Amino acid sequence: MAKRSGFEKVIRAIARETAKQQRLNESERRAVVRAADRAERQQLRAHAIRERERVRYDRESERAAKQNYLEFREQEVRDGNATILFWIEGLQSILSAALMVDDTVTFDSLRVTDKPPSFTPAKALTTTVAGPSQEFFTSKVAPLPWYLSFIPKFKVQHADKLRAALEQFNASEEECRAQNMQRLEALESARNIYDDGLSALLEKKALRDSEVDAFRYSYYEGDPESIIAYCSMVLEKSDYPEGFPQNFSLAFVPESKQLVVEYELPTSEIIPEVSEYRYVKSKDEVTTKQRKPAEIKSLYSDLVASIALRCIHELYEADQGEFIEVCCFNGYVNTIDPATGLGVQPHLVSVRATRETFTKIDLARVDRSICLKNLGAHVSRSPSEAQPIRPIIEFNMVDKRFVDQQDLASQLSSATNLMDLNPYEFEALVANLFGKMGLESKLTRSSRDGGVDCIAYDPRPILGGKVVIQAKRYKHTVGVSAVRDLYGTMMNEGANKGILVTTSGYGPDAFEFAKDKPIELIEGGGLLFLLQEIGVEARILMPTE
């Protein structure tokens, strides 16, 4: 029993140890499982956190992208509106901008002002090529020991090495001299090229100086062509916004000191039809607000008036020689006639102003339309629709048709000189001219100075009526008194219109008096043009004193 009890104790101890080991193993297994579960939960939690962050980032990125897109579209609209505003402000400041600029074209500004460049050859051409010194070659030959100097063989070999070194030195010297010769030749060639360029520049400068001096002299001598050329420079210098045609023609009548400008205006398309851009967020689209037709008409009318006043201002301000006493501006547009589809050039504004009257105007403060009206301008009732007006003076009537004593030409030898006609012949010519132009004219009386009173009738309904025509076969400028006399005759006759024709020109006072009245002044050049229109070739040669 004792042995059996001892064996049972051993068995129970083994069982307890086995159970304990099983418990430990199970505990470790559960610990591993718990650790794995914990790690898995942590991974899931980290993944969930990352997913939430990603979703939040995506939402924020989407919101930021939407916000950026909205800001881009809104900025796009702001930029478009700013561009429109900038353009409109530029059009409205056409006149005021010119008042801040000195329009005078100085003759010195036409000269060549470029300074001749200095002669700067390449450094390699000015640097002497120097080879190695003689010592550089001889130092490579080792000295002959004293004990070998007594042996002829070694002495000869040493001498040969020194001689070879000297030959290398001489060859190097010769190569350097050749390189320096090439360098000097290249330097001389560069100098010759520079001198040729300098001579060409100085020659160009001297030629331009002589041309400018001749131009300046002829301008101050009152040469009409030089005055026209100078005035053309003034208008070409004028800075307008992009899209303005700036095409023009000029004619100068020295007898009346009148400059006539035929100027192309921009069409009404220069005014933006869009007044404002708007961004509709709900539809994600940019809409436009169209400018009202009345606003376009107002802006364009103001622009036409601004250009007319600006051109006259520039020409008077730049007139160094004060040759211009009267300036007439005719503004036209190149457009399409909607009725025929053909290209037309209707005039929209025509204004004539004397220097004395115009220079007293404060252009910085005027109402431009009222200012033109006060100057007696002809202005289209609807410039934006290109409704035409009749110019105060037709450009072709003053374009190089008045021939003075110095411009005699063989082709004019057969033409009649109007100054050679007697008063009665001149009266008949004038009456015949207007008769062929459609007026029913009748001579009434003549005067000693060649003037003619002609009562004529314009048969057109509404626009027609009684017309008084007077002609002055003068060689001197016609003054304001003749215009007053014509106006008095009109009042006495109850005429609708008066026409004064002269072989010479008119003074500023005559134009100023006639500007608000139904009076048309025709100068010598215009008379020749009208005669040519009816097939009569004539010329005006003033008698010498």
> Residue 464's CB: how many other CB atoms inside 10 A?
15
CB 441 within 8 A of CB 431: yes
Picking from 368, 397, 426, the residue at the C-terminal end of a domain is 397
Average pLDDT over residues 222-228: 92
- How high is the pLDDT of residue 447? 52
Of the listed ranges 189-193, 292-296, 390-394, 421-425, the least confidently predicted one is 421-425
- Distances in whole angstroms, Cα of residue 257 to Cα of each of 192, 322, 515: 53, 9, 17
Block residue for tokens 């001389």: 188
Please indicate, yes or no, if residue 154 is contained in any of the structural domains: yes
pLDDT averaged over every residue in the chain: 84
Q: Say if residue 283 is in the same domain as residue 354.
A: yes
534 with 475, same domain? Answer: yes
**Confidence tier at 403 by pLDDT (50, 70, 90):** very low
Q: Which domain holds residue 380?
A: 96-103+238-397
Is residue 42 in some structural domain? no
The answer as to whether 81 is a domain residue is no
* Cβ contacts of 529 within 8 Å, gap of 6 or more: 394, 396, 397, 399, 401
Contact 490, 498 (CB under 8 A): yes
Query: Does residue 523 contact residue 502 with C-beta atoms inside 8 Å?
Result: yes
* Dihedral angle over CA of 178, 180, 186, 191, nearest 10: -150
Q: Is residue 15 part of a domain?
A: no
Please check the confidence at residue 449 and state whether its pLDDT lies above 70: no
Q: Which residues pair with 422 in a beta bridge?
A: none
pLDDT digits (tens, 9 = 90+) for 136-154: 878 887 887 877 777 888 8
Are 466 and 494 a contacting pair, CB within 8 Å? yes
| 273 and 362 together in one domain | yes
Q: Would the pLDDT of 487 be above 70?
A: yes
Q: Are residues 272 and 384 in the same domain?
A: yes
Which of the four pLDDT bands, split at 50, 70 and 90, describes residue 49?
A: confident
Burial track 379-413 (b if 16+ CB lie within 10 A, e otherwise): bbeebbebebbebbbbbbbbbebbbeeeeeeeeee
Q: Which of 190-204, 304-318, 519-533 has the lowest mean pLDDT?
A: 519-533
Structure confidence at residue 269 as a pLDDT band (50, 70, 90): very high
CB of 293 closer than 8 Å to CB of 217: no
Q: Identify the weakest region by mean pLDDT among 199-208, 348-357, 454-463.
A: 454-463
| Nearest of 515, 520, 521 to residue 502 by alpha carbon | 521
Lowest-pLDDT range of 144-148, 285-289, 346-350, 359-363: 144-148
Q: Which of 397, 428, 463 is the last residue of a domain?
A: 397
Q: How far apart are CA 439 and CA 448, in angstroms?
A: 25
Task: Please tell me whether residues 386 and 410 are part of one structural domain.
Answer: no
Q: Higher pLDDT residue, 353 or 534?
A: 353
Structure tokens at 158: 């040493």
Q: Which of 12-21, 28-37, 360-369, 462-471 has the lowest mean pLDDT?
A: 12-21
Residues 448 and 380 in one domain: no
- Contact between 276 and 76 (Cβ < 8 Å): no
User: What's the total number of domains in the chain?
Assistant: 3
Whether the pTM exceeds 0.85: the reply is no
Inter-residue contact 277 to 85 (CB < 8 Å): no
The alpha-carbon radius of gyration of the chain (Å, integer) is: 49
Is residue 27 domain-resident? no
Paired residues of 349 in beta bridges:
331, 379
Question: CA neighbours within 13 Å on the CB side: how many for 505?
Answer: 19
Q: 117 with 247, same domain?
A: no
Whether 72 maps to a domain, the answer reads no
When comparing pLDDT for 329 and 122, which is higher? 329
pLDDT computed for residue 223 by the predictor? 92
| Same domain assignment for residues 386 and 436 | no
Average pLDDT estimate for 76-91: 92
In this structure, what CATH number is given to the domain that contains residue 469?
3.40.1350.10
What does the pLDDT average to over 152-177?
A: 84
| The domain boundary residue, chosen from 158, 193, 220 | 220
Is residue 43 included in any domain, yes or no?
no
Q: Are residues 534 and 440 in the same domain?
A: yes
Q: Note the residue count of the chain.
A: 545
Question: Between residues 84 and 471, which one has the greater pLDDT?
Answer: 84
Highest mean pLDDT among 355-369, 390-404, 526-540: 355-369
Ranking 317-331, 399-413, 489-503 by mean pLDDT, the lowest is: 399-413
Three-class HEC string of 173-184: HHHHHHHHHHHH
